[in-house]
Structure 1
Amino acid sequence: LSPAINALHAFLRERCTALLASHPSGGTQAVLAI
């Protein structure tokens, strides 16, 4: 993977972690979508 893709993936993972913390059901669906 290119550095840009790695950075994007890390960003998405952080966002999903934040969603999981604030909205358990929605966060789980977001993680599964990725």
Structure 2
Amino acid sequence: MLLDKAIMAHIMIPAVETLNRKDIEGVRNLLRIAL
């Protein structure tokens, strides 16, 4: 399934920002929401 770029950006930008804060639990929560 291909996501359109707006949806992808909406998921990836917060994920990258969270990674930059090294907030692994936050990343897991984001992925749980995204999937």
Category of TM-score, reference length = shorter chain = 0.3 to 0.5
TM-score using structure 1 length:
0.45
Structure of greater Rg: 1
The structure with the greater share of residues assigned to helix is: 1
TM-score when normalising by structure 2: 0.44
